[in-house]
Chains A and B, each alone.
Chain A
């Protein structure tokens, strides 16, 4: 990744312009031809620097108002295989393994679920629990959204340097 890549990513990290030819406009702002902007973005995608290129949806405004993080109590030895299994559920958008805080917080696996209604979400979580054979878990419904921005901002990385 070079300076020009960084400039492009920084220009579009909050979103491409919603104009007829968004990449032409990005090119005008970064001083690059449109074709080069497109080629560089394709290369970054191929190299895995860009994981995906897509619309970020505000699920609440799209009608998915029940959102929860679920913390799962699982034996450490079984965590990886159980995590992979949970990740396979189509309704699970995130599945992470995290270091527990012994004696205070013993949950090691975490999934995120979204639904129109809480009861639908709970029934999906119950399906995952049954498949995993886990009866110790917490459904942490989200209330207010205090902050939501793309993870890993180029601007942040640059400012820190």
Chain B
């Protein structure tokens, strides 16, 4: 997989991470900012999407506003040969949005968003029971405060941050 290096693609990736135009011809609106036609923008977006660089163009919802009041980060120590099985169980839950392997004794880390704290605790217990990972090898790191969520990667001319 070769990362995009075309300067127009990089500029486009930056623009697409700003607020997406909510109008009838969004590609045209974006194109006007960088001197491209709407057709050209759409064809580049399709290409970046088919290469997996763009996952999707979608609304990021405020979880609290759609009834999800509790969230946590769970870390587990999973023996290497067991990882596929355990991850398979964890990923079944639609409440799990992110799940990553990390380089630590705690090697499986996933996030959980639920309606309330009770549901969160219940799901973690259920996951522990189903995976058979001992509770003393599981950390439940309940979210207390969010200071920042700004997943934005700068690609155009900023070597350090992308």
A149 to chain B, nearest CB (A): 5
Q: Which listed residue, B57, B107, B109, touches A55 by the CB 8 Å rule?
A: B57
Whether A153 pairs with B58 at a CB distance below 8 angstroms is: no
Is chain A's interface secondary structure helix, strand, loop, or mixed overall?
mixed
Whether B151 pairs with A93 at a CB distance below 8 angstroms is: yes
B51 to chain A, nearest CB (A): 7
Interface size class of A (residues with CB under 8 A): 35 or more
Whether B99 pairs with A63 at a CB distance below 8 angstroms is: no
Question: Which residues of B sit under 8 angstroms from A87, Cβ to Cβ?
Answer: 147-148
Q: How many interface contacts (CB-CB < 8 Å) are there between A and B?
A: 273
Whether B103 pairs with A115 at a CB distance below 8 angstroms is: no
Q: A15-B56, A145-B100, A152-B61 are in contact. Are A53 and B141 (CB under 8 A)?
A: no
Whether B101 pairs with A144 at a CB distance below 8 angstroms is: yes
Whether B95 pairs with A156 at a CB distance below 8 angstroms is: yes
Of the candidates A15, A100, A120, the one having the most CB atoms from chain B within 10 angstroms of its own CB is A15
Nearest A residue to B45 by beta-carbon distance?
A18
Nearest A residue to B21 by beta-carbon distance?
A53
Whether a CB of chain A sits under 8 angstroms from the CB of B17 is yes
Binding site for A on B (CB under 8 A): 1, 3-4, 13, 16-20, 22-27, 38, 42, 45-46, 49, 51-63, 65-68, 71-73, 75, 87, 90-91, 94-104, 106-111, 113, 115, 136, 139-153, 155, 159-162
Binding site for B on A (CB under 8 A): 1, 9, 12-16, 18-24, 34, 38, 41-42, 44-45, 47-59, 61-64, 69, 80, 83-84, 86-87, 90-101, 104-105, 110, 114-116, 120, 124, 138, 140-157, 159-160
